[in-house]
Structure 1
Amino acid sequence: MEVIPVNELPESMSGGLKKMAVSLNNSNAQVSYALHCGQHTVNANELIGRTLTITYAGSIHCLHCNRKTRKSFSQGYCYPCFQSLAQCDSCIVSPEKCHYHMGTCRDPAWGDDFCMNDHIVYLANSSAPKIGITRATQIPTRWVDQGAAQALPILKTSSRRIAGLVEVIYKPHISDRTQWQRMLKATPEDIDLHQLALELQAKVAPEIKTIQNEFGTDCMTDLVSNDTKSTRIHYPVNSHPVKVKSVNLDKTPVFTGELTGIKGQYLIFGDQVLNVRKFGGYHVDISISNS
């Protein structure tokens, strides 16, 4: 869908919200955002400094089947889709529990495309150093969605399950969580992710060997020994929140504020933030004016 400059938009746009699309400029490491609302896709960076009024229309439509639903599950799905779709299964959150190999995947064709391909195990620095995994095709999108200021691939695996098993053995030594409020409040100090990766590798070497013994030595590729460079990421934020207060459209159906930045999947309005991904499928009206 074509991204429309703000000066070509009508005074308001209406429709369902979706996760913001992101792109990273390789020359200056700056993130560009595209905000989806119904049939409109706008350059969200250009909205910074403008006042937005977001009005929740009271209806939610499933991002998969478009069925009207009273409640959103798993960031935008109706309950039947939440119960039946492979992308809503518990193994998406806990990939080490992938059961594709047992023949019980909800949608094996979807699993072929999503899980049975190259995944990257990475270190990121968002609120603090963390371990994470993502499909190889989702770099750097996954890092941007988490608000990472730095990221470094450390392993490539041949499936999502193997990446999940690797992540599990790292978790006693490093968190797999992003503290989203801390991430929004400031840009973290730089960390030597390459050195951290080497230190962590030494700690998990026996467990890595166990995984290789089970799945074969070619199930993963070490990226740290290749001296892979870390990626720096800069976000369009004029000012970080001092105290982070989350905007809940269910409780505050009409919200007005000056957009002061975008980071991760959050629109920042001073100390108030809206998690766009959380409200996927919510039908809203967004009016835009100069501050």
Structure 2
Amino acid sequence: MQYTGVLKKMDTEITEKVQYYLDMKSDFINVNQLLNKQLTLDFVTYECLNCHLEKEIYRQGFCKSCFFEIPTAGDWIMKPELSKAHLDIEDRDLTYEKKVQLQPHIVYLANSSDVKVGVTRKTQVPTRWIDQGAHEAIEIVEVPNRYLAGITEVALKEHVADKTNWRTMLKNDIKDENLVEWRERLQAFIPEEAKEYYIANNSETNINFPVEKYPAKPKSLNIVKEQTYTGKLVGIKGQYLIFEDERVFNVRSNEGIVINLTIN
């Protein structure tokens, strides 16, 4: 059976084990059902997620011209502290920026390779944690806009990591942490503007991923360079497909790439 489509990050659903779904244009695949099956991935071409033209992908699934023009790729996406919609200041499209920035945001702690701090819209909890491969996470503050979340993250990352080590995450070489204690320790470093939004009474969320075998030495699969790859799927974690030969494929970092997916 073969499917063709442009890659976008997998949709997820938190259940006893996370359910993953891959949108392949005319087909919607439950990726969990592909576990222990032999899969072949073939690179076909590129398709920008914005203009849908056959142009080489630059970043985040967009061609170079779209990446530097569209509001969904503004600097404030990766650096929330640069958000200015609350000041009525436009970056690329004020209407869009108000829609996204002026809504409740969460600053959280997630444990994927180690404890890290991050920011997401409230509507993206727990999706954001799943995408990062976190096996446990907890909210620290809930603020009314992205700017306040951004400056809180900047302040807290002086005292806790803000990056995930993808190899450690995929090897599952991690330990459980008491995130309630972490949250309480970090409370003192929350900026004055955000202190009133501190969440004092909550518990951590635990996440289980559908992985049957973790790789000891994960090696990233570059499907554009290799053009084709065949392997047995043994796990899914974060946005990674994990294969039996310890190759791993990051679906999200390959957004905008058109592939043929064959289930052998």
TM-score by length of 1: 0.87
> Structure 1: how far apart are the matches of 2:204 and 2:58?
35
Give 1:102 shift: 5.7
1:232 corresponds to which letter in structure 2?
A: N
For 1:243, give the aligned amino acid. Answer: K
Alignment partner, residue 4 of structure 1: none
State the one-letter code of the partner of 2:230.
T
Alignment partner for residue 13 of structure 1, among 3, 28, 43?
A: 3
Q: Which residue of structure 2 lines up, in the alignment, with residue 96 of structure 1?
A: 81
Three-state SS of the structure 1 residue aligned to 2:4 is strand
Query: Shift in Å at residue 144 of structure 1?
Result: 0.1
In structure 1, the partner of 2:29 is 42
The residue aligned with 1:85 is 70
What is the CA deviation profile of residues 189-233 of structure 1, one whole-angstrom value per residue up to 9, with x for unaligned ones? 21110011101113x15xx22x25xxxx7xx5221x1x2111000
SS in 2 for 1:259: strand
Q: Which moved more, 1:107-116 or 1:46-55?
A: 107-116
Instruction: State the 1:38 CA deviation.
Output: 2.8
Instruction: Return the alpha-carbon distance in structure 1 between the equivalents of residues 111 and 5 of structure 2.
Output: 34
Determine the C-alpha separation between the residues in 2 that align with 1:186 and 1:64: 35
Q: Are residues 1:153 and 2:127 paired?
A: no
Say yes or no: does 1:167 pair with 2:153: yes
Shift of 1:114: 1.2
Unaligned 5+ segments in structure 1 are 1-10
1:234 to 188, 204, 208: 208
- 1:187, distance to aligned residue in structure 2 (A): 5.6
Aligned-partner Cα distance in 2 for 1:73–1:39 = 25
Distance 1:182 1:173 in 2: 20
What one-letter code is carried by the residue in structure 1 that aligns with 2:63?
C
Supply the distance in 1 between the matched residues of 2:167 and 2:72 (Cα, whole angstroms): 26
CA deviation after TM superposition for structure 1 residue 148, in Å: 0.2
CA shift, 1:107, in A, is 1.2
SS at match of 1:41: strand
Structure 1 residue corresponding to 2:224, chosen from 247, 250, 259:
250
Alignment of 1:221 onto 2:200 = no
Q: Indicate whether 1:186 and 2:172 are aligned.
A: yes
Q: Distance in 2 between matches of 1:235 and 1:96?
A: 31
Secondary structure at the counterpart of residue 251 of structure 1: helix
Residue type of the alignment partner of 1:228: N
Aligned to 1:288: 263
Alignment pair present for 1:72 and 2:47: no
Letter in 2 for 1:274: F
Partner of 1:191, secondary structure, is coil
> How large is the Cα RMSD of the aligned pairs?
1.3
**Equivalent pair of 2:90/2:97 in contact (CA under 8 Å):** no
The aligned amino acid for 1:63 is: L
Matched AA of 1:42:
I
For 2:60 and 2:133, the matched residues in 1 are separated by 18
* Percent of paired sites with the same residue: 37
Q: How many residues align?
A: 262
The residue type equivalent to 2:48 in the other structure is C
Asked if residue 259 in structure 1 is aligned to residue 259 in structure 2, the reply is no
Q: Mean Cα displacement is larger for which, 44-53 or 180-189?
A: 180-189
Match of 1:274 in 2: 249
Alignment-mate amino acid for residue 151 of structure 2: L
Is 2:185 the partner of 1:199?
yes
Partner of 1:133: 119
How big is the shift at 1:88?
0.8
Q: Provide TM-score, normalisation by structure 2.
A: 0.95
- Determine the C-alpha separation between the residues in 2 that align with 1:76 and 1:91: 17
